[in-house]
Amino acid sequence: MKKLLLATTAATLMTGAAFAEDVKVGILLGFTGPLETIMPHMADSAELAFKEISETGKFLGGSTISSVRGDSTCVDASAATAAAERLITADGVVAIMGADCSGVTGAVLSNVAVPNGVVMISPSATSPGLSSIEDNGLFFRTSPSDARQGEILADVLEEKGITSVAVTYNNSDYGKGLADAFAANYDGEITLSAPHEDGKADYSAEIAALASAGGELLVVLGYIDQGGKNIIQSSVDTGAFDMFLVGDGMYGESLLGLGDIVEGILGVVPWAEGEGTDMFTKLGTDAGILVDSTYTRESYDAGALIALAMAKGGAATREAVAANVLDVANAPGEKILPGEFDKALDILAAGGDIDYVGATNVELIGPGEAAGSYRYYTITDGAYETVDIR
């Protein structure tokens, strides 16, 4: 009898262990490249969601989530594709939080994610072109499309009474898409809209052309750690422009590092406010994350949605993620704020519904992208100052 009891106990333990596993989720961001200073904060935010969910002990029979990071470079489609292939084939990730920049995101989605049935939830790929990409229901994003950002940028200028501008944009899917969205919404004169390449040591030719075309202000739709920041520096140094409006790719601490020359800059960046945002700010700050960096909230929410979709589907599989992202992101269901994963997992385990609100007031619309809101800000006394959220 004793031997029978021992055998039964051992079998029970083995059965429990079979349910608990280490679930791998990929984080594909540009840890090198033109946005490298903001990517660690985004990755840390997604990993905070994974950690909180794992620590409940209620995720898929006591399973835990571990992240595997891959470098998209933000701009090199071949490198991003190779990194995604490693995440999927070598590391066996169930889903990918990312990618970050629009061009590499589209390449990874078409060449790697769709053929392998892997969901991607991007916190920051904002090109309007991604709204209609063939994705087999596998692509979602927690940031709004730049179709909306173009409207906000135009509104800011019209409210300021600025009737003519020059535009420089990063020569990428992101830059071209945002420049087109801005042009479609701005009623004033665009004297010149010209691309720039990242990584150049000298932008004098680009700046000369923009200055020659004229305009009350230069709109910079670039990346903060590469061409965009250098164009602002050189524009001021040469006296070409002293007023700027910048898009979301220009928001970050390294822009403030330019000092007095950025005083008075106007800018727009996806943002949120409310109880969920406040809760994330506290949780993230306590965890040592620079929560006011760009796309930290969206990254936390992207990570949370991946995990909660698995929980609703009852399995750590690619199919479970794909089938349940929209269900956990939208009404109906009990509203879930950051850190409330105990409650969320209890509800899902009982067969109930949740409506994940998260840090950004998540609501996935149309083809699975965020409705979103934006922060219109100025740089005042060397710091970002909110004008309003819209």
pLDDT in tens, 367-387: 899 988 999 999 999 999 999
pTM (whole model) above 0.75 = yes
Q: Looking at 70-84, 235-249, 299-313, 363-377, which range is the least confident one?
A: 363-377
Closest among 24, 52, 48 to 341, alpha carbons compared: 52
Residue pair 229/38 in contact by the 8 Å Cβ criterion: no
User: What's the whole-number mean pLDDT along residues 131-142?
Assistant: 96
Instruction: Give the residue carrying structure tokens 């961001």.
Output: 29
Q: What is the structure's pLDDT at 3?
A: 34
What lies within 8 Å, CB to CB, of 285 at 6+ separation is 291
Q: Please give the Cα distance from 33 to 36 (Å, whole number).
A: 5
CATH superfamily of 146-269+374-389: Response regulator (3.40.50.2300)
Confidence grade of residue 15 (pLDDT, cut at 50, 70, 90): very low
Q: What percent of the chain has a predicted confidence (pLDDT) above 70?
A: 95
Three-state secondary-structure class, residue 49: helix
Q: What is the structure's pLDDT at 4?
A: 36
User: What's the whole-number mean pLDDT along residues 348-361?
Assistant: 98
Q: What is the structure's pLDDT at 8?
A: 38
**Second-level CATH architecture of 22-144+274-370:** 3-Layer(aba) Sandwich (3.40)
For residue 164, is pLDDT > 50? yes
Q: Quick check: bond before 332 cis, omega within 30?
A: yes
For residue 2, is pLDDT > 70? no
User: What's the whole-number mean pLDDT along residues 131-153?
Assistant: 96
User: What's the whole-number mean pLDDT along residues 282-303?
Assistant: 97
Q: What percent of the chain has a predicted confidence (pLDDT) above 90?
A: 93
360 versus 20: the higher-pLDDT residue is 360
The three state secondary structure string of 136-194 is CCCEEECCCCHHHHHHHHHHHHHHCCCCEEEEEEECCHHHHHHHHHHHHHCCCEEEEEE
Q: Where are the domains of the chain?
A: 22-144+274-370, 146-269+374-389
Q: What is the structure's pLDDT at 11?
A: 37
User: What's the whole-number mean pLDDT along residues 293-311?
Assistant: 98
Q: Please give the Cα distance from 361 to 343 (Å, whole number).
A: 18
User: What's the whole-number mean pLDDT along residues 145-171?
Assistant: 97
Q: Which parts of the chain fold into alpha helices (H)?
A: 2-19, 39-55, 77-85, 102-108, 114-116, 146-159, 173-185, 204-213, 227-238, 253-256, 275-286, 296-313, 318-329, 341-349
For residue 184, is pLDDT > 90? yes
Which DSSP symbol is given to 348?
H
Three-state secondary-structure class, residue 90: helix
Question: Could you tell me the strand order of the sheet in which 139-141 lies?
Answer: 64-71, 22-29, 95-98, 119-122, 139-141, 369-370, 364-365
Q: What is the structure's pLDDT at 91?
A: 98
User: 22-144+274-370 and 146-269+374-389 share one CATH topology?
Assistant: yes
Q: What is the pLDDT of residues 58-86, one digit of tens each?
A: 999 999 999 999 999 999 999 999 999 99
Q: How far is CA 143 from the centre of its chain?
A: 6
Q: Which residues pair with 26 in a beta bridge?
A: 68, 96
For residue 50, is pLDDT > 50? yes
Q: What is the mean pLDDT of the chain?
A: 94
For residue 12, is pLDDT > 90? no
For residue 279, is pLDDT > 90? yes
